[in-house]
Structure 1
Amino acid sequence: MRQSSLVVVSNRLPLDDSAARDGACEWRRSPGGLSGALHSILQQTPATWIGWAGEMDLAPRLPDLGSVRLRSVALSAEEQHGYYEGFANSTLWPLYHDAVQQPVFQREWWDTYRSVNQRFAEAAAEVAGRHAAVWVQDYHLQLVPTMLRELRPDLLIGFFMHVPFPPPELFMQLPRRVELVHGMLGADLIGFQREQAGHNLAQLARKLLGATATSDTIEVDGRTVRTGAFPVSIDVDEMRALATRPDVVRQVKQLRHDLGESKRVLLSVDRLDYTKGIEHRLTAYRELLRDGHVKVGDTVLVQVAVPSRERVESYQDLRDRIEGEVGRINGEYGRVGEPAIHYLNQPFDRSQLAALYRTADVMVVTPLRDGMNLVAKEFVAAREDGSGALVLSEFAGAAAELSQAFLVNPHDLDGLKQTLLRALEAEPADLAARMSAMRRHIAEHDILAWARAYLTALDHTGRLARQLG
């Protein structure tokens, strides 16, 4: 088997859902997702990507995806339930997002999570060349760094947490807290979106493992583990080019016509997830309609909710609640042929998203908690004309970078309503100044800058960063 000098390990391979069935390999992109973040930097970089291909019980041989070799890991339906739907997304995900939803602890899920992490570690050990770099991604695979180090101590191991990492008082609720912290600390470098997450890990390492820790290093098992903040970003040039493509421009004109040429358009694009604050947003919009601050004749909300984790019961319940609320709002305030809210529960391709970004007057990104939120950055990149307003939750990682947005606490419904009105009524000069500053920032801090910063910190020789071109 060919071995690689750079190996990426994630829960899913970056493929569309038909890849395992017919071998047609195309990049799978979702709003704000991991494959979207890594797509641009890996499509021209020789690497091997390890992950699940999307089909139960299968580990198909897949053709290369550009310069990336794909290595699939098999998961049974039972493993998918216990590892992914169970421990990763019913235990860790809610806890890591400030327990917005009550975490569920089931002992058998842990055994499955551990065994699946071991399988991913063994796959990485097999394909990684001597002294290769292995870059492990996210909370699904927190045990892999230490498991991999036990198998291949020669490797350079990086771990990146794309989601928030909670404060000790929340993390300490986990029954398997010691194993999870120790699993991460098998890495040479642990990257987070925000500095505070590194401080949280240091406190836990001291408390649970008796480790010596500073603001950016943790001494454990005779090794020094480094931590740091590396805010993830987007391919700014790609989104700019996409937003100005003739077919996208035509889509924008058609959307404007369909929504109403004179209407103010508010847009939200989220995965269907309880952390995204969709219900809070709908409540705020309903009250604005009720109080007459916005009217169906002059304003419309477009809510895109991309399906997510549809087999998890809490997500099914969320979808039912959101669809019920949209129906109530449209039933009470809509008119024939003129709904108050256009609700779309379906995937969108990149060109459709770019057209929506360009159509919106106000982009509403109000998660209750989010590691970063790349949709906010995509919206800014798409606004080549310098117009448009961004309403952004202060609990999204992106708020630390896009400080010129209209920042808001989404838990404060009155504050959310006032902020939406401020954005709708802002002067064009104010909006242009805000957008110009945000566009400058993301141009200087794009996806390539993120990858170079992380890989340079991981490998001080600069070899990995040079591979990115």
Structure 2
Amino acid sequence: MSRLIVISNRVSVPKAAGAAGAQGGLAVALNSALRENRGIWFGWSGQETEEFTGHLDMQRNDGVTTATIDLEPQDIEEYYNGYANRTLWPLFHYRIDLTEYDRNFGEGYERVNRRFADSVRPLIDQDDLIWVHDYHLLPLGSMLRTQGVKNRMGLFLHTPWPPTRLLVSLPFHERLVESMLAYDVIGFQTEEWLGSFLHYLEKEMGLEISEDGCVQYQGRRIVAQAFPIGIDFAEFTQGAQSEEAQDAHDKLKASVRGRKILIGVDRLDYSKGLGERFESFSRFLADNPELASKAVLLQIAPPSRGDVASYQQIREDLERKTGHINGAHADVAFVPIRYVNRGYPRRQLAGFYRAADVGLVTPLRDGMNLVAKEYVAAQNEEDPGVLILSQFAGAALQMEDALLVNPHSLEDVSETIKRALAMPLEERRARHDKLLDSVRSEDVVHWREQFVRALHGTHCDAI
């Protein structure tokens, strides 16, 4: 059996069952695949070193081997804070106004990808399958090919892929996309992001695409395909039945004193549309004074990328908006928005989801968005809550029975909140049943198996 080599920006070291701070579904699924295939997970440790040496820290935990390297401060600033998160991330989320182009960022990005290639190369055996993850490592496959690696290699992009008219604003975009064609399989979250990538290949590179997504380039055949990711349904629903989840549910319910609960859980990021969400909720409070004291929005937003100026600005803006909205609509015994800048273990989140009458998932642009799927999985099937979901989240294509909204329209979101809170039980059950079927059947294990099967496969060889 071929080993699986997973390569990502950061590595999630497996934790013992029941350990605090349980891992996310992606880590659980990849760890399972690595155990099954005697694989290795390689990436950055998250730590700094004064001088890069290429030293590998090899560990084995819960049957999974991990290998990590440390990076220099300049690497982190140019590769991670710079090109990855100030150039590619905003561009891939259609925020060209926030995209920064800096030659040093690009040089740092290529340097670190080369360091990844140099470090992981000695770990790769002839028959290994190599699975690279996300926008941090787009050119890694090309660099491994340069070092003589002939193994089957796949790339999965967890973010959106922007339209061609936006991507061409990126300096040296041709070189970046060309490097991606070193992979045998290129995976995207949705058909929309896949279509944007194929459009670029056709219009900017003049390549022909077969009906099944196969591309011929310099004597090689590449398959590009959508592989929608899901949650680890079994693991998450088991956690949702735990005592920890029940305690979180009960405490939240008791604290609102009979009021309806809306919940949002998002990393603090401009792509999540949190400012627009707060303003939409404020609009709902203003338009429905008879309901204004009967609903609470709990927004959990752990900070991220604090070294990037645009993220510092987001936090300041949200704190200001929260204060303004609460000042306008609160009284001595009630505040309409509970804004929390910290993360919670997944089991506690499951309890919060189950307690909430409405899941408010309204990103401006998202590759998938697994919070929407977790909210559905956590619900009481006999009395489920209602999912309000942005039409611009990748999950919207799989979750048509949610209430889909335009997150840019305050009026649309406000009216949909009112509809969700008034939705009769029969309709809530009918919608939830269909959503749950999708979340259960298209889980993260299904996603992993589909991608690895494509990586093993050779259907493009017939072109």
Residue equivalent to 2:287: 291
* Residues 180 and 27 (structure 1), Cα distance of their counterparts in 2 relative to 1, 3 Å cut: farther
Q: How much does 1:43 deviate?
A: 5.9
Q: How much does 1:60 deviate?
A: 6.4
Q: How much does 1:139 deviate?
A: 0.5
Please tell me whether the aligned partners of residues 157 and 189 of structure 2 are also in contact (alpha carbons under 8 angstroms): yes
1:18-33 to 2 correspondence within 5 Å?
none
Residue equivalent to 2:4: 6
Q: Does residue 50 of structure 1 match 2:57?
A: no
Which of 435, 452, 456 aligns to 1:459? It is 456
Please tell me whether the aligned partners of residues 4 and 34 of structure 2 are also in contact (alpha carbons under 8 angstroms): no
Please tell me whether the aligned partners of residues 132 and 155 of structure 1 are also in contact (alpha carbons under 8 angstroms): yes
For the residue of structure 2 that corresponds to 1:258, the secondary structure is helix
For the residue of structure 2 that corresponds to 1:218, the secondary structure is strand
Please tell me whether the aligned partners of residues 97 and 275 of structure 1 are also in contact (alpha carbons under 8 angstroms): yes
Q: How much does 1:329 deviate?
A: 1.2
CA offsets per residue over residues 141-172 of structure 1, 9 Å max, x none?
Answer: 00011111222332110000110011111111
Residue equivalent to 2:218: 221
Please tell me whether the aligned partners of residues 32 and 375 of structure 1 are also in contact (alpha carbons under 8 angstroms): no
1:389-468 to 2 correspondence within 5 Å?
389-460=386-457
Please tell me whether the aligned partners of residues 83 and 105 of structure 2 are also in contact (alpha carbons under 8 angstroms): yes
Q: How much does 1:246 deviate?
A: 2.4
* Residues 98 and 47 (structure 1), Cα distance of their counterparts in 2 relative to 1, 3 Å cut: same
Please tell me whether the aligned partners of residues 245 and 352 of structure 2 are also in contact (alpha carbons under 8 angstroms): no
With 396-405 and 151-160 compared, the bigger mean Cα shift is at 151-160
- Distance in 2 (CA, whole Å) between partners of 1:79 and 1:336 is 50
Residue equivalent to 1:347: 343
User: What letter corresponds to residue 309 of structure 2 in structure 1?
Assistant: E
Residue equivalent to 1:163: 159
Q: How much does 1:88 deviate?
A: 0.8
User: What letter corresponds to residue 55 of structure 1 in structure 2?
Assistant: Q
Q: How much does 1:337 deviate?
A: 4.1
Q: Does residue 85 of structure 1 match 2:81?
A: yes
CA offsets per residue over residues 370-392 of structure 1, 9 Å max, x none?
Answer: 00001111111111434110000
Q: How much does 1:124 deviate?
A: 2.8
Please tell me whether the aligned partners of residues 44 and 66 of structure 1 are also in contact (alpha carbons under 8 angstroms): no
- Distance in 2 (CA, whole Å) between partners of 1:419 and 1:345 is 26
Q: How much does 1:350 deviate?
A: 1.0
With 200-209 and 306-315 compared, the bigger mean Cα shift is at 200-209
Please tell me whether the aligned partners of residues 45 and 68 of structure 1 are also in contact (alpha carbons under 8 angstroms): no
* Residues 326 and 89 (structure 1), Cα distance of their counterparts in 2 relative to 1, 3 Å cut: same
Q: How much does 1:425 deviate?
A: 0.8
For the residue of structure 2 that corresponds to 1:165, the secondary structure is coil
Q: How much does 1:37 deviate?
A: 6.0
Q: Does residue 330 of structure 1 match 2:322?
A: no
- Backbone CA RMSD of aligned residues: 2.5
* Residues 389 and 39 (structure 1), Cα distance of their counterparts in 2 relative to 1, 3 Å cut: farther
Q: How much does 1:294 deviate?
A: 6.0
* Residues 195 and 305 (structure 1), Cα distance of their counterparts in 2 relative to 1, 3 Å cut: same
Identity %: 36
Which of 186, 193, 218 aligns to 1:190? It is 186
User: What letter corresponds to residue 253 of structure 2 in structure 1?
Assistant: R
Residue equivalent to 1:467: none
Residue equivalent to 2:134: 138
Residue equivalent to 1:94: 90
Please tell me whether the aligned partners of residues 370 and 396 of structure 1 are also in contact (alpha carbons under 8 angstroms): yes
Unaligned runs of 5+ in 1: 17-22, 463-469
- Distance in 2 (CA, whole Å) between partners of 1:36 and 1:393 is 27
Q: How much does 1:194 deviate?
A: 1.2
- Distance in 1 (CA, whole Å) between partners of 2:347 and 2:273 is 25
1:208-287 to 2 correspondence within 5 Å?
208-215=204-211, 216-260=213-257, 262-287=258-283
* Residues 255 and 313 (structure 1), Cα distance of their counterparts in 2 relative to 1, 3 Å cut: same
Q: How much does 1:204 deviate?
A: 2.1
- Distance in 1 (CA, whole Å) between partners of 2:392 and 2:112 is 31
- Distance in 1 (CA, whole Å) between partners of 2:79 and 2:47 is 15
Q: How much does 1:45 deviate?
A: 5.1
Please tell me whether the aligned partners of residues 7 and 42 of structure 2 are also in contact (alpha carbons under 8 angstroms): yes
- Distance in 1 (CA, whole Å) between partners of 2:56 and 2:149 is 29
Please tell me whether the aligned partners of residues 296 and 338 of structure 1 are also in contact (alpha carbons under 8 angstroms): no
* Residues 162 and 307 (structure 1), Cα distance of their counterparts in 2 relative to 1, 3 Å cut: same
Which of 107, 112, 122 aligns to 1:111? It is 107
For the residue of structure 2 that corresponds to 1:7, the secondary structure is strand
Unaligned runs of 5+ in 2: none
* Residues 30 and 248 (structure 1), Cα distance of their counterparts in 2 relative to 1, 3 Å cut: closer
Which of 98, 105, 116 aligns to 1:120? It is 116
For the residue of structure 1 that corresponds to 2:121, the secondary structure is helix
- Distance in 1 (CA, whole Å) between partners of 2:444 and 2:339 is 30
- Distance in 2 (CA, whole Å) between partners of 1:289 and 1:85 is 38
User: What letter corresponds to residue 335 of structure 2 in structure 1?
Assistant: P
* Residues 47 and 271 (structure 1), Cα distance of their counterparts in 2 relative to 1, 3 Å cut: same
* Residues 48 and 26 (structure 1), Cα distance of their counterparts in 2 relative to 1, 3 Å cut: farther
Q: How much does 1:461 deviate?
A: 8.4
Q: TM-score, normalised by structure 2?
A: 0.92
With 140-149 and 247-256 compared, the bigger mean Cα shift is at 247-256
Residue equivalent to 1:465: none
* Residues 141 and 307 (structure 1), Cα distance of their counterparts in 2 relative to 1, 3 Å cut: same
- Distance in 2 (CA, whole Å) between partners of 1:31 and 1:373 is 17
Please tell me whether the aligned partners of residues 145 and 186 of structure 1 are also in contact (alpha carbons under 8 angstroms): yes
User: What letter corresponds to residue 314 of structure 2 in structure 1?
Assistant: L
User: What letter corresponds to residue 341 of structure 2 in structure 1?
Assistant: N
With 273-282 and 211-220 compared, the bigger mean Cα shift is at 211-220
Q: Does residue 174 of structure 1 match 2:170?
A: yes
Q: TM-score, normalised by structure 1?
A: 0.91
User: What letter corresponds to residue 63 of structure 1 in structure 2?
Assistant: Q
Residue equivalent to 1:306: 302
* Residues 180 and 26 (structure 1), Cα distance of their counterparts in 2 relative to 1, 3 Å cut: farther
- Distance in 1 (CA, whole Å) between partners of 2:144 and 2:428 is 49
Q: How much does 1:62 deviate?
A: 4.6
- Distance in 1 (CA, whole Å) between partners of 2:81 and 2:17 is 25
1:346-365 to 2 correspondence within 5 Å?
346-365=342-361
With 238-247 and 146-155 compared, the bigger mean Cα shift is at 146-155
CA offsets per residue over residues 366-414 of structure 1, 9 Å max, x none?
Answer: 0000000011111111114341100000100101111100001101111
Please tell me whether the aligned partners of residues 26 and 231 of structure 2 are also in contact (alpha carbons under 8 angstroms): no
Please tell me whether the aligned partners of residues 5 and 128 of structure 1 are also in contact (alpha carbons under 8 angstroms): no
Q: How much does 1:26 deviate?
A: 11
Q: Give the number of equivalent residue pairs.
A: 453
- Distance in 2 (CA, whole Å) between partners of 1:80 and 1:5 is 30
For the residue of structure 1 that corresponds to 2:196, the secondary structure is helix
